[in-house]
Amino acid sequence: MIRRLAIIGVGLIGGSLARALRAAGQVDQVVGCGRSEQNLQQALELGVIDDYWRDPADAVRDADMVFLAVPLGAMAGVLESIHDALAPEAVITDGGSVKGSVVADAVRVFGRVPPRLVPGHPIAGTERSGVTASFPELYRNRRVILTPLPETDADALERVRAMWQATGAQVSEMAVAHHDQVLAATSHLPHMLAFGLVDALARMQDNDEIFRYAAGGFRDFTRIASSSPVMWRDICIANAPALSDVLSRFSDEMGDLADAIRGRDGDRLLEIFSRAKLARDRFIDGIDQTATD
Amino acid sequence: MIRRLAIIGVGLIGGSLARALRAAGQVDQVVGCGRSEQNLQQALELGVIDDYWRDPADAVRDADMVFLAVPLGAMAGVLESIHDALAPEAVITDGGSVKGSVVADAVRVFGRVPPRLVPGHPIAGTERSGVTASFPELYRNRRVILTPLPETDADALERVRAMWQATGAQVSEMAVAHHDQVLAATSHLPHMLAFGLVDALARMQDNDEIFRYAAGGFRDFTRIASSSPVMWRDICIANAPALSDVLSRFSDEMGDLADAIRGRDGDRLLEIFSRAKLARDRFIDGIDQTATD
């Protein structure tokens, strides 16, 4: 049970957490903080938060749980703002898509790994943003990865785990560096491909005609290119080493494919496509099993 | 009105054309041909076809419209089989995703561009295949591109156009080479990226864990990697020059992106992502307008 939850960044992610905890009866009071007063006012009117502050230091005062749901590039500044205002028992967690950079920011601001910081990442979202896009079921049956460090307080970890379980999420743990590698492959790289493909086509001559003849497959394939440019700039910079590594593996793969196409090597193409189809079909089976667990 | 339609390859594409034309009352008789007797038997039982033959030459005899819905690698063989059996007035069209290779195959078999051949490409489909996946609405509001040549008979073109319009499709015309370039960019390249991404991840260590943490965006993004490996092998070989060209443009784009990530060049990343998001959002507006036309 959370007495007072402070949410820094009351958008899709932060707002949905507040709504889910309220629906589960797991929070007494929710206070918000953010850059857009209009968005905070909406959050208040929608009953997502009970009160709001413009300064993160005011928002976290007397909170026993603090959730940071700001772009990765804003994490260091928020941590600096709240550092002196945190209650001693306050647990801090976040929703950032990269964990190494959040830990590094915290170490820079706190002078060490803060024991009450539990880095986390709910793997959920839609292309929409802002508190009006939030809803209480966003995390149901979705995965949340926590990346505790050796210094992390066991009680703080347990409280964050219980919070996410109350939203209906499946919580697991992973090392910081491993999280950043896995997400580089499954999320950050696909976003780069979608942004890169749409941009490459947009830069071609007759691009209007090209988009006109794109079919449903293209629409699905590029949906993630409608995501927030600022959020993705921050993710790329925060996860540059792991993302560069998977980008170069992918580039090698595409080089092989391009060679096979230029050389009309049907056997090689069939091998690559068959292996991919098998993995993809098995992956879908895996997801369906999770959904019915 | 079609008196006798011969469909070579009674799967999703061929079967849906037969169903749509029957529903519109635009065909008297439909005969099928294919490699799987079981599939042809199912097509008969479902009422998609009235009769079937195992030899394409038998199937096209006395047909006034012939639709070739076989993988691109099988086109030349089918054209050879039917060459001597076609009625003089028979119109031939096809559903291949590449048009240059179909025309080249026809020229090789017929010794010239056959005036009654109207190369075509319905931009529609699902990941499912076989006649049981076919349905009469597949082509409704979808685009069909016809690529007539200077030698193409005007009456044959008009008959093929009327056939597709009867299915509810939006029919347009394009030059053969231009079609193959546009489709390389909007369909063939995205399929290469989806196949390549899934294969690159499948080849990594711990690939089971990687797929386990892939979220909904990944599912959409890689859906097209479940498509038929044989069909895509044939498309790659048939459209090798145009596909190689867009692959190398894409490769340059990804090289720029990788440089910006390694160099933590936030401004450059924001520029690329913003331009892509703008193009993608505009493209979705365009699709929505088409849908309500």
Q: How high is the pLDDT of residue A181?
A: 94
Which whole number is the average pLDDT over B251-272? 94
Gap between the Cα atoms of B279 and B285, Å rounded: 10
State both tokens at A177: 């560096």
Phi-psi group of B205: left, alpha or beta (phi > 0 → left; psi -120 to 50 → alpha; rest → beta): beta
Tokens 């690698």 correspond to what residue? B73
Where helices occur in B126-167 by DSSP H, the ranges are 154-166
Whole-angstrom distance, CA of residue B94 vs CA of residue A191: 35
- Spell out which residues of chain B touch residue A238, defining contact as CB-CB under 8 Å: none
Q: Which of B183, B199, B217 sits opposite A276 (nearest CB)?
A: B199
Percent of chain B with pLDDT over 70: 96
Assign residue B168 a region (left: φ > 0; alpha: ψ between -120 and 50; beta: otherwise): left
Q: Rounded to a whole number, what is the distance in Å from the CA of B121 to chain A's nearest CA?
A: 11
A-B CB pairs within 8 A amount to 283
Out of 3.40.50.300, 3.40.640.10, 2.30.290.10, 3.40.50.720, the CATH code matching B2-174 is 3.40.50.720
Shortest CA distance from A289: residue in chain B = B212
- What is the reported pLDDT for A219? 80
Say if residue B288's pLDDT is above 60.
Answer: no
* Distance separating alpha carbons of residues A267 and A33, to the nearest angstrom: 58
Summarize the confidence of residues B241-265 as an average pLDDT.
93
**Is a pLDDT exceeding 60 seen at residue A290?**
no
Structure tokens at A131: 């508190």
CB atoms B270 and A215 under 8 Å:
no
Q: Where are the alpha helices (DSSP H) in A55-185?
A: 56-60, 75-82, 100-110, 154-166, 176-183
A159 has a pLDDT exceeding 60: yes
- Bridge partner list, A94: A68
A204 and B249 within 8 Å at the Cβ level: the answer is yes
Could you read off the pLDDT of A93-142 as tens digits, one per residue?
999 999 999 999 999 999 999 999 999 999 988 777 899 999 999 999 99
Mutate to test the interface with A, among B199, B232, B249 (most CBs of A within 10 A): B199
Cβ contact, residue pair A183, B213, below 8 Å: yes
Q: For residue range B55-102, what is the model confidence (pLDDT) as tens digits?
A: 999 999 999 999 999 999 999 999 999 999 999 999 999 999 999 999
Q: Which of A128, A180, A199 to mutate to test the interface with B (most CBs of B within 10 A)?
A: A199
In chain A, the percentage of residues whose pLDDT exceeds 90 is 82
Confidence at B34, pLDDT banded by 50, 70, 90: very high
Query: Cα A7 from chain centroid?
Result: 15
- B225/A277 CB distance under 8 A: yes
- Over its C-alpha atoms, chain B yields an Rg (Å, rounded) of 21
What is the rounded CA–CA span in Å between residue B86 and residue B103?
17
**Cβ pair B190:A197 closer than 8 A:** yes
Higher confidence at residue B211 or residue B176? B176
Chain B residues touching residue A142 (CB < 8 angstroms):
215
| Burial of B154: CB neighbours in 10 Å, binned 0-12, 13-18, 19+ | exposed
User: Using CA atoms, how far apart are residues B268 and A73, in angstroms rounded to an integer?
Assistant: 15
**Does A199 sit within 8 Å of B272, measured CB to CB?**
yes
Candidates A30, A85, A93; CA nearest to A57 is: A85
The DSSP secondary-structure symbol of A259 reads: H
* pLDDT tens digit sequence for B101-158: 999 999 999 999 999 999 999 998 877 789 999 999 999 999 999 999 999 999 999 9
Residues of A in contact with B170 (CB under 8 A): none
Question: Residue A6: CB partners within 8 Å, gap ≥ 6?
Answer: A31, A32, A33, A59, A60, A63, A65, A66, A67
Q: Which residues of B touch A222 (CB under 8 A)?
A: 190, 280, 283
What is the C-alpha to C-alpha distance for residues B269 and B284, in angstroms, rounded to an integer?
Answer: 22
Written out in words, the top-level CATH class of the domain with range B179-262 is mainly alpha
State the smallest CA–CA distance between residue B232 and chain A in angstroms: 8
Residue B60: closest CA among B8, B13, B110? B8
* Facing residue for B280 by CB, picked from A212, A226, A230: A226
Q: Which of A246, A101, A269, A229 is nearest to A181 (CA)?
A: A246
CB contact under 8 A, A143 and B215: yes
The model's confidence at residue B207, banded by pLDDT at 50, 70 and 90, is confident
Residue A54 confidence class, pLDDT cut points 50, 70, 90: very high
Cβ(B156)–Cβ(B118) below 8 Å: yes
CB < 8 Å to B144, chain A: none
Q: What SS3 state is found at A3?
A: strand
For B5, the enclosing helix (H) or strand (E) is strand B2-8
Angle between helices A229-238 and A240-262 (to 10 degrees): 100
Residue A213 — pLDDT band, cuts 50, 70, 90?
confident
User: Which chain B residue lies closest to A186 (C-alpha atoms)?
Assistant: B214
Question: Which runs of consecutive H residues, i.e. helices, occur in chain B?
Answer: 12-23, 37-45, 56-60, 75-82, 100-110, 154-166, 176-183, 189-202, 207-212, 216-221, 229-238, 240-262, 266-292
For residue A206, is pLDDT > 90?
no
Which residues of chain B lie closer than 8 angstroms to A122, CB-CB?
none
What is the average pLDDT value for chain A, to the nearest integer? Answer: 93
Question: Using a CB-CB distance cutoff of 8 angstroms, which residues of chain A are in contact with residue B219?
Answer: 284, 287
Residue A155 has pLDDT above 80, yes or no: yes
- Mutation site for B-interface testing, chosen from A143, A178, A198, A244 by largest number of B Cβ within 10 Å: A198
Distance from CA of A50 to the nearest CA of B (A): 32
Residue B176: pLDDT band by 50, 70, 90 thresholds?
very high
Query: What distance in Å separates residue B17's CA from the closest CA in chain A?
Result: 18
